[in-house]
A and B are shown apart, each in its own frame.
Chain A
Amino acid sequence: MTSEQKRTLALYYCQNVPASGERERQDLEEKYGRGIRLFTVPCSGRLEPIHLLLALEEFADVVFIITCPEGVCRYSEGNKRAKKRVEKTRAIIASIGLEVERIGMIIGSKENPISLADHARAAMERTLKLPPSPVHN
């Protein structure tokens, strides 16, 4: 088992992230195996603290949200709201003694669009820098 497979990353991503179709999703699952759980959402603003906390509680060591670039949200301000919710959830996990880095957020760039696979690689690198979650041990 590689070091990557010892952590589980829950990755929520907006459907507007470039190259984030079903095929790309399956390619990522083939690459990272059980180390990644991918959830596509119609808008990152749909996510509430409960979604992030539930993933941390049930299976994930780290949770990441990938949003579309600021100013291009189809629901006007979904990504701005997602940002606020991430901050709120970080405050909650900090209060119970978990590292705030266990909730991550990547905001897409309008000028330099990055594919889901590249975002996932970056998120996985940051995941591996953290120890396994004490919630599951």
Chain B
Amino acid sequence: MPSKYMIHTKTVTNRFQPVSKSGIIAWEEGCLKCAVCVKKRCVYNVYDKRGIDSRHMIESIDNLCMNCYRCVQNCPKELIHKSLNPEFNAMGDSHWSPPIIVRLWNQSQTGKIPVSGAGYPGPFSGPGFDSMWTDMSEIVRPTRDGIHGREYISTAVDMGKTPEHLMFNGSDTLEGEVPSIIDIPLPIILKMPSFGTISPNTIKGWAMGARRLGTLIALPMEKIDSALEDMGGCLMPLVLPRGTSIGNIPKNAKIIEIPWTEEWQGVVEDIKGYIPNLFVSVRIPMAEGMEEKALSLARGGISIIHLEGSSMSRFMDDNTRNLKDGIRLVHMKLVEENIRDGVTLLASGGLAMAEHVAKAIICGADTVFVDFPILIALECRMCRRCTKGLSCPVEIDTASPGWVASRVVNLIGAWHNQLIEVMGAMGIRDARRLRGEVGRAMFFEDMDRAAFESMGQVEEGCELE
């Protein structure tokens, strides 16, 4: 039994006041000056702790308010109101929605699993991973003493080629060579996001976080400088096939990644000629023809393939197709060709919540990349001002590496706990067994088809009464 993998988290305070969902509007005019004002009776003493962050003019009372509405209901002149904050609604986009951003902030701050109130008020189904439900049949028999109890649930995964069979000689010793693998304790690799006010300190912090987690961080080659010299073991350099010197690859790096080109074989040969034991991952855009590309790579001996979707969790060339469907397509293609175990499938693109990790693995990925969440962990609001050269409202580039690392460790710690929760509820005790377990999940499209297909189809232009 391997030693139990634990991520130790502790609260890491925000550098800026978070944007709250709602705010208090209190009229002063017409106040009756009651002897005991409702503001004085606030059970959370919110009004006594009022402060304004002059950088963003954010009222501290908005973040402290617990929305009990006592003050709103009890003011005799009805001078206190609650309103939605327009700054909150302006954050992010349809995929990186404000509630997701706020949940990621909270997890990065506390390292704890987000808990919401009773009931689920959201829609029954949605696009992408929201149209997928995991089997929770074992939730009635959870581990005897919690997710960190005696029944160990392993989240470790292997990267590289798994042998199809083992051969033993007469003296019961293993015959032949077993291919080497990279073993990481959780199926998550950090990846530098494609935008953000990112400084060398930010990158160093992410790398420190990856090292503390025991995982890897994928970084463009040009971002790897002398400050990361001693962290080569946790780096996954993203190498361009042309114009980048192979000699710049950190000495102790275990793995690198190259983008797909028709001449990938030559590029891999060059790299292997320089560092023979280096693992090479080839990145394929999630787009038309990716199954054939994956197949040719697998047949050509590439053991790690990275499927890259868009930051909105869609195909690169088709906004109507979701990441989960792309992963399933490639996974099933490799299964049909009987070469699935010879390949490690990495997936990236818009993974925004802990449940997306489990769902991507169920769809067929072995490991996933997490990119924008590690930026949001640093209080990013996904406003994309940085892409226009405007100043970052939360000055991410000024954060110290230690703070960055702790926030990322907290976030991934919370995600790791949620992954264990999901696996425990599914009765699966090893993340490697979760891969491709679509039988333990339900897909809205399948259920919709099973329920309504026999009733015929609605023809285009025909309106249902």
Q: Chain A interface (Cβ within 8 Å of chain B)?
A: 12, 15, 21-22, 25-26, 29-30, 34, 39-43, 45-46, 48, 50-51, 54-55, 57-59, 75, 78, 81, 84
Using Cβ atoms and an 8 Å threshold, which residues of chain A touch B388?
Answer: 26, 30
Asked whether, in the complex, the Cβ of B90 is within 8 Å of the Cβ of A21, the reply is yes
- B383 adjacent to chain A (CB < 8 Å): yes
- B28 adjacent to chain A (CB < 8 Å): yes
Interface of B is mostly: loop
Which of B54, B57, B85, B383: most chain A CB closer than 10 A? B57
Q: Knowing that A42-B85, A55-B54 touch, tell me 10 more A-B residue pairs with CB under 8 angstroms.
A: A22-B90, A22-B383, A30-B390, A40-B86, A45-B25, A55-B57, A57-B54, A58-B54, A75-B83, A81-B29
Q: Can you offer 24 A-B residue contacts whose CB atoms are under 8 A?
A: A15-B86, A21-B90, A22-B90, A22-B383, A25-B90, A26-B388, A30-B389, A30-B390, A34-B391, A39-B56, A39-B57, A42-B25, A42-B83, A42-B84, A42-B86, A45-B27, A46-B83, A50-B52, A51-B52, A51-B57, A55-B54, A78-B25, A81-B27, A81-B29
Using Cβ atoms and an 8 Å threshold, which residues of chain A touch B25?
Answer: 42-43, 45-46, 75, 78
- B41 adjacent to chain A (CB < 8 Å): no
Q: Hey, what's the 0/1 contact readout for B4-40 against A, CB within 8 Å counting as 1?
A: 0000000000000000000101011100000000000
- B81 adjacent to chain A (CB < 8 Å): yes
Considering the complex, give the chain B residue whose CB is closest to the CB of A29.
B390
The smallest beta-carbon distance between A92 and chain B, in angstroms, is 14
Cβ-neighbour of B54 out of A29, A43, A54 (below 8 A)? A54
- B385 adjacent to chain A (CB < 8 Å): yes
The smallest beta-carbon distance between B228 and chain A, in angstroms, is 33
Using Cβ atoms and an 8 Å threshold, which residues of chain A touch B57?
Answer: 12, 39, 51, 54-55
Considering the complex, give the chain A residue whose CB is closest to the CB of B53.
A54
Asked whether, in the complex, the Cβ of B29 is within 8 Å of the Cβ of A84, the reply is yes
The smallest beta-carbon distance between A79 and chain B, in angstroms, is 12
Considering the complex, give the chain B residue whose CB is closest to the CB of A16.
B86
- B87 adjacent to chain A (CB < 8 Å): yes
Using Cβ atoms and an 8 Å threshold, which residues of chain B touch A59?
Answer: 54
Q: Chain B interface (Cβ within 8 Å of chain A)?
A: 23, 25, 27-29, 52, 54, 56-57, 81, 83-87, 90, 383, 385, 388-391
Using Cβ atoms and an 8 Å threshold, which residues of chain B touch A26?
Answer: 383, 385, 388, 390
Using Cβ atoms and an 8 Å threshold, which residues of chain A touch B28?
Answer: 48
Asked whether, in the complex, the Cβ of B87 is within 8 Å of the Cβ of A40, the reply is yes
Considering the complex, give the chain B residue whose CB is closest to the CB of A22.
B90
Interface of A is mostly: helix
The smallest beta-carbon distance between B121 and chain A, in angstroms, is 22
Asked whether, in the complex, the Cβ of B385 is within 8 Å of the Cβ of A41, the reply is no
Using Cβ atoms and an 8 Å threshold, which residues of chain A touch B84?
Answer: 42
Give Cα A78–Cα B79 distance, bound, in whole angstroms: 11
Q: Which 10 A-B pairs have the closest CB atoms?
A: A42-B83, A15-B86, A22-B90, A58-B54, A46-B25, A40-B86, A39-B57, A54-B54, A29-B390, A43-B25
Asked whether, in the complex, the Cβ of B90 is within 8 Å of the Cβ of A54, the reply is no
Give Cα A15–Cα B383 distance, bound, in whole angstroms: 17
Give Cα A78–Cα B52 distance, bound, in whole angstroms: 20
Give Cα A99–Cα B10 distance, bound, in whole angstroms: 50
Using Cβ atoms and an 8 Å threshold, which residues of chain B touch A39?
Answer: 56-57
Give Cα A123–Cα B20 distance, bound, in whole angstroms: 28
The smallest beta-carbon distance between A43 and chain B, in angstroms, is 6
The smallest beta-carbon distance between B67 and chain A, in angstroms, is 15
The smallest beta-carbon distance between A119 and chain B, in angstroms, is 16
The smallest beta-carbon distance between B186 and chain A, in angstroms, is 35
Using Cβ atoms and an 8 Å threshold, which residues of chain B touch A25?
Answer: 90
Give Cα A25–Cα B81 distance, bound, in whole angstroms: 26
Give Cα A59–Cα B56 distance, bound, in whole angstroms: 12
Asked whether, in the complex, the Cβ of A42 is within 8 Å of the Cβ of B23, the reply is yes
Give Cα A12–Cα B383 distance, bound, in whole angstroms: 19
Considering the complex, give the chain A residue whose CB is closest to the CB of B82.
A42
Give Cα A25–Cα B388 distance, bound, in whole angstroms: 12
